[in-house]
Amino acid sequence: MFRHERPVRFAEVDAARIVYFARFLDFCHDALEALFAPLPGGYAHLTMVRGVGFPSVRVEVDYLAPLRYGDVALIDVAVERLGTRSITLRYVLTRAADGVRSAVVRQVVVVSRLEALASIDMPDDVRALLAPHLALPSA
Amino acid sequence: MFRHERPVRFAEVDAARIVYFARFLDFCHDALEALFAPLPGGYAHLTMVRGVGFPSVRVEVDYLAPLRYGDVALIDVAVERLGTRSITLRYVLTRAADGVRSAVVRQVVVVSRLEALASIDMPDDVRALLAPHLALPSA
Amino acid sequence: MFRHERPVRFAEVDAARIVYFARFLDFCHDALEALFAPLPGGYAHLTMVRGVGFPSVRVEVDYLAPLRYGDVALIDVAVERLGTRSITLRYVLTRAADGVRSAVVRQVVVVSRLEALASIDMPDDVRALLAPHLALPSA
Amino acid sequence: MFRHERPVRFAEVDAARIVYFARFLDFCHDALEALFAPLPGGYAHLTMVRGVGFPSVRVEVDYLAPLRYGDVALIDVAVERLGTRSITLRYVLTRAADGVRSAVVRQVVVVSRLEALASIDMPDDVRALLAPHLALPSA
């Protein structure tokens, strides 16, 4: 598992004063970018130079408790499934201050050549990076 | 059913040059705000003055085809379920130019008093507004 | 002059419940995209197919009165200066409900080939589109 | 002076593949939030609990060189002027990899009670926090 810590920013709440529902996915993507940091040049090099990316095909979010400005989210990323050309990721967002679980996100992505948006086999270094984060879908 | 037309904006794509996965939910929320326009003062009056809102408890997105800058999304909103205190919405996003289905989103929201984030019975005018958009989950 | 009408969206306010200062520039860009709609394919075709765009070199914003969720902004766009390779735009944002001026934005952009981010002479159709909106910097 | 390091995120570029002009202000605000971290509870406590904030009245941006996905911005924040009820801030954004200056931002804010959006005298701890960052407007 991989943990990314991420404070809520001033502009991320909506008119109801809670983090806007779409932004939970920003939190997940930030965690994913952080997860790829060990690759040379990180996620940016992978996507921009090597042209390999992970378009989503399916996302599920369960919202359990709101995040507000001042909260820090702990985002635990696990890999539920590591296929030949697809990956299932699971993100659990917890409020740092009180340990309350805020959201659980499942995301299925397809390993793709970004130029053509066509699926490709997962590069070996990506598989090696993700394999240690494999975890059963329970937890 | 209710249709909302919404062009992709210049800043809504990501480094892969397709609409960023989180922003599909912005498209849905824009359509929802448009759906509530017939209420006096629209969604803004409902949320800001009457203090009634619809925090999400569950969102599912199936991404079928990318949106790019220059695309116009047609967003068809249907109500799948109209409970006492919850609503299940379904959004189908279609690219206007070629009619290709881009994404299908299901969203379950809880009718809530926003101040306390506590569920309440659905106001009659909200129910009356949504009832004509009830549609079976097939489509 | 060109007028674009644009409601504040639910997620555009910040934790202080007023439209976040950076988003005023989104309002301006939306108005600019609307201004270019008469060109075939609009701003998207100009930037994505012809590869011509307008990177900013200077922006000035005077914030005069806040925008809140529920407000509709009227954005009046004028061209203050139409150079060979640069354009100075002026946007006045007014709250529709009470006519209060919310912000004045000046933006200097360079007509550019986007691929290289190098300045080019303004295409004739762009000049023809903008010329009728020339207005003195007073107002 | 205060330095904040901030990578460009995947979704922060626009259709021209450079960081969208409005987002430069997000970078500045992130740096400002970081600058306030030494106060108990940081910027969030100041704004949300004490109700003190800094609405902008004036912003000027000079865009000098683009930021792209993969770039890390170094944001140097200096206080140009520390008035009774207003503050002038200056942000210099530099690309970490090549040291090229990307943008210079000046921002004038009014120390305000957020509820009423009315100016107030600067709290002593805010002044004490900012005073060490006073710098002449040259640089």
- State ipTM: 0.95
Strand A112-113 versus strand A101-110 pairing type: unpaired
| Interface membership of D33 toward A (CB under 8 Å) | yes
| Interface membership of B47 toward C (CB under 8 Å) | yes
| Interface membership of D69 toward C (CB under 8 Å) | no
Given a contact cutoff of 8 angstroms between Cβ atoms, the answer to whether B77 and B106 are in contact is no
Sign, CA torsion D11/D17/D19/D21? negative
Look at residue A138 in the predicted model and tell me its pLDDT: 57
Distance from CA of B35 to the nearest CA of C (A): 14
A17 with C17: Cβ contact below 8 A? yes
User: Which residue on chain C is closest to A69 by alpha carbon?
Assistant: C15
| Interface membership of B11 toward C (CB under 8 Å) | yes
Mean pLDDT of C24-43: 97
| Interface membership of C20 toward B (CB under 8 Å) | no
D16 with C47: Cβ contact below 8 A? yes
Considering only CA atoms, which of A4, A90, C57 is closest in space to residue D18? C57
Q: Give domain B2-133's CATH architecture.
A: Roll (3.10)
Look at residue C138 in the predicted model and tell me its pLDDT: 58
Q: Chain A residues with CB inside 8 Å of C20's CB? A: 10-11
User: Which residue on chain B is closest to C70 by alpha carbon?
Assistant: B44
Q: In the predicted model, what is the mean pLDDT of chain B?
A: 96
Residue C53 burial class via C-beta count within 10 angstroms: exposed 0-12, middle 13-18, buried 19 and up? buried
What single-letter amino acid sits at D54? F
B53 with A25: Cβ contact below 8 A? no
Sign, CA torsion D3/A9/A41/D64? negative
Q: Which chains touch D (3 or more CB pairs under 8 A)?
A: A, B, C
CA C96 from chain centre, in angstroms, equals 18
Asked if residue D138 has pLDDT above 80, the reply is no
User: Which residue on chain C is closest to B54 by alpha carbon?
Assistant: C10
Q: Identify which of B10, B33, B68 has the shortest CB distance to residue C10.
A: B33
Rounded distance between C-alpha atoms, residue B125 and residue C33, angstroms: 36
B20 with D10: Cβ contact below 8 A? yes
What single-letter amino acid sits at C49? V
Confidence category of residue A137, pLDDT binned at 50, 70, 90: low
User: Which residue on chain A is closest to D12 by alpha carbon?
Assistant: A26
How many residue pairs bridge chain B and chain C with CB atoms within 8 Å of each other? 45
Task: Point out which residues pair with D42 in neighbouring strands.
Answer: none
User: Which residue on chain D is closest to B70 by alpha carbon?
Assistant: D15
Asked if residue A95 has pLDDT above 70, the reply is yes
Confidence category of residue C1, pLDDT binned at 50, 70, 90: confident
Rounded distance between C-alpha atoms, residue C137 and residue C114, angstroms: 28
Look at residue C4 in the predicted model and tell me its pLDDT: 98
Residue D117 burial class via C-beta count within 10 angstroms: exposed 0-12, middle 13-18, buried 19 and up? middle
Rounded distance between C-alpha atoms, residue C23 and residue C19, angstroms: 7
Considering only CA atoms, which of D18, D73, A122, D102 is closest in space to residue B17? D18
User: Which residue on chain D is closest to C106 by alpha carbon?
Assistant: D60
State the Cα angle at A71 between A60 and D75, rounded to 5°: 100
C10 with A10: Cβ contact below 8 A? no
Confidence category of residue A87, pLDDT binned at 50, 70, 90: very high
D11 with B15: Cβ contact below 8 A? yes
pLDDT, tens digit, for every residue of D74-110?
999 999 999 999 999 999 999 999 999 999 999 999 9
Rounded distance between C-alpha atoms, residue A109 and residue A119, angstroms: 10
Q: Chain C residues with CB inside 8 Å of B26's CB? A: 11
pLDDT, tens digit, for every residue of A26-57?
999 999 999 999 999 999 999 999 999 999 99
| Interface membership of B100 toward A (CB under 8 Å) | no
Q: Where are the alpha helices (DSSP H) in C16-123?
A: 23-35, 42-44
Q: Identify which of B15, B48, B56 has the shortest CB distance to residue A21.
A: B56
- Backbone phi, psi, residue A97, to 5°: -70, -40
A45 with D10: Cβ contact below 8 A? no
| Structure tokens belonging to residue A57 | 């095909």
| Structure tokens belonging to residue D43 | 């910027």
Q: Which chains touch C (3 or more CB pairs under 8 A)?
A: A, B, D
Given a contact cutoff of 8 angstroms between Cβ atoms, the answer to whether D85 and D111 are in contact is yes
Which residue's entry shows tokens 């599920």? A60
C69 with A15: Cβ contact below 8 A? yes
Which residue's entry shows tokens 């249709």? B3
Region of A109 please: left (phi>0), alpha (psi -120 to 50) or beta.
beta
Q: Chain B residues with CB inside 8 Å of D22's CB? A: 11
Cβ neighbours of C86 (radius 10 Å): 17
- Percent of chain A having pLDDT more than 90? 96
| Interface membership of D5 toward B (CB under 8 Å) | no
What single-letter amino acid sits at D27? F
Asked if residue D139 has pLDDT above 80, the reply is no
B21 with A21: Cβ contact below 8 A? no
Look at residue B139 in the predicted model and tell me its pLDDT: 47
Q: Where are the domains of chain C?
A: 2-133
Confidence category of residue B102, pLDDT binned at 50, 70, 90: very high
A57 with B66: Cβ contact below 8 A? no
Mean pLDDT of C67-93: 98
The 8-class DSSP code of residue B131 comes to G
Q: Identify which of A10, A48, A70 has the shortest CB distance to residue D69.
A: A48
| Interface membership of A69 toward D (CB under 8 Å) | yes
| Interface membership of B22 toward D (CB under 8 Å) | yes
Considering only CA atoms, which of C80, C71, C138 is closest in space to residue C108? C80
